[in-house]
Amino acid sequence: MIAILIVSCAQYKRPPMMIKVPSFYDNQVTFQNLVLVADPYIERGKTEHLFNTDLLKKGFLAVQLIAFNDGEKTFDLSKANIVLVREDGLVVPPVPPARVSKKVLKSTSLRMLGWGFAGLIILSIPLSLAAGVDSRRANQGIRRTLKENILKSSEIGPHEIVSGFYFFKIGKSTGYGRGALEQQYRFRIERLLEVDSGQEYEFNIGIN
């Protein structure tokens, strides 16, 4: 009975992604009819809700890029270079989701060992097996969610909203909210292409 309860409580389901109106977000720039938002996930519980793990505590900053195109022009991010720029000039490139997941996945072996001790004697085997299943399922959910939430479309068509996450290694944080980041950062988008004119633009969005 206990083992069944542990497995059922452990299953992770990805919550729906909610996009709010541009005015809701603090960190944004506007160009013509294009609004670019950089939303850093620095509030307590925010990454756990979406990714089932505390990315910030493990040294990774997740930034959601949201592009609201309320005009008739098309923009393209396929050749854009997107980085974080620290106040001292250090450029921090994004980390691929596969590498992030390797750093933050839950330890299946430790979970099994821990539950083995917790269920010592009679329940040790079913409890440890349940913990192993629990951890593997959680890891699968984390890996899948990190991959699924990256920017899927590089083209921002007329009257479209495009969004996706970028992950940056910034070192472990000791807090949340505005005090989570020890230094100031800018989210930089280089070489955003306006398709019709062929003109490329650069944008810097302060995130803290």
pTM for this one? 0.74
Comparing 97 with 40, the larger pLDDT belongs to: 40
- Residue 15: what pLDDT? 55
112: left (phi over 0), alpha (psi -120 to 50) or beta: alpha
- Residue 109 clears pLDDT 50, i.e. is over it: no
Q: Please give the mean pLDDT across all residues of the chain.
A: 77
Q: Find the mean pLDDT for residues 172-180.
A: 68
- Residue 139: what pLDDT? 60
User: Residue 43: which residues within 8 A CB-CB, separation 6 or more?
Assistant: 176, 177
- What's the sign of the alpha-carbon dihedral 167, 168, 174, 177? negative
Contact assessment for residue 46 and residue 53, using Cβ atoms and an 8 Å cutoff: no
Q: Which of 31, 26, 121, 29 is nearest to 75 (CA)?
A: 31
- Residue 140: what pLDDT? 65
pLDDT in tens, 45-68: 888 888 888 888 888 999 999 999
pLDDT in tens, 126-169: 544 444 444 566 566 566 666 666 676 789 999 999 988 999 99
- Residue 195: what pLDDT? 96
Judge: domain 23-105+150-206, CATH 2.60.40.1230.
yes
Comparing 21 with 15, the larger pLDDT belongs to: 21
Contact assessment for residue 37 and residue 20, using Cβ atoms and an 8 Å cutoff: no
- Sorted by where each begins, the domain ranges of the chain are 23-105+150-206
Q: Find the mean pLDDT for residues 85-103.
A: 90
- Residue 177: what pLDDT? 72
Token look-up 């691929």 returns 96
